[in-house]
Amino acid sequence: LCPARGFREDPSRPGLRDKAMPRPAHGSPAALRDHGFSLDCLDSRGFLFGPSLAQELGLGCVLIRKRGKLPGPTVSASYTLEYGKAELEIQRDALEPGQKVVVVDDLLATGGTMRAACELLGQLRAEVLECVSLVELTSLKGREKLGAVPVFSLLQYD
């Protein structure tokens, strides 16, 4: 979030304080364990939720990082933020072709970061099943940038 554009508080903070956050709508984590996919977590607040969720579900967790933070050969995708440009990377051997993945982040705002993550995963020929965020700022219409990829957000703000 960019203070220069008037965002003063991280919209995911209220959800982090709530000890009784709802469980996923698809049922118990045990019901999801046998679907054979990994959670791909976005740098950096996606790391707060993704690894714990992956552990709870018995799934793998793959990190998608900002440029220059991963060792070894990587693939990258550039994208435009509301306040500039950025680049995401994933390790070239992080996923097998055809592997099913769910992208996890704390916030869906303009959709640029999630779309770049989906493009990265496409470069590795992974199948993106869904994009998941804790908070969605619906007035910014970020889900529209994700095309046919289903989006689930726990909290939605206009």
* Helix or strand run (H / E) with residue 114: helix 112-123
Half-sphere exposure of residue 158, counting CA atoms within 13 Å on the CB side?
Answer: 0
Residue of 13, 82, 92, 127 with catalytic role? 82
Report the relative pairing of strands 100-108 and 84-91 from DSSP bridges: unpaired
In whole angstroms, what is the distance from residue 19 CA to residue 36 CA?
Answer: 29
Does 45 qualify as catalytic in the annotation?
yes
Marked catalytic residue, from 17, 23, 33, 45: 45
Q: Which residues contact 31 (CB under 8 A, 6 or more apart)?
A: none
Comparing CA positions, the residue from 87, 75, 68, 86 lying closest to residue 124 is 75
Angle at 128 (CA atoms; ends 134, 92), nearest 5 degrees: 105
Residue 77 to residues 52, 66, 88: CA-CA distances in angstroms?
26, 10, 5
The residues assigned a catalytic role are: 45, 82
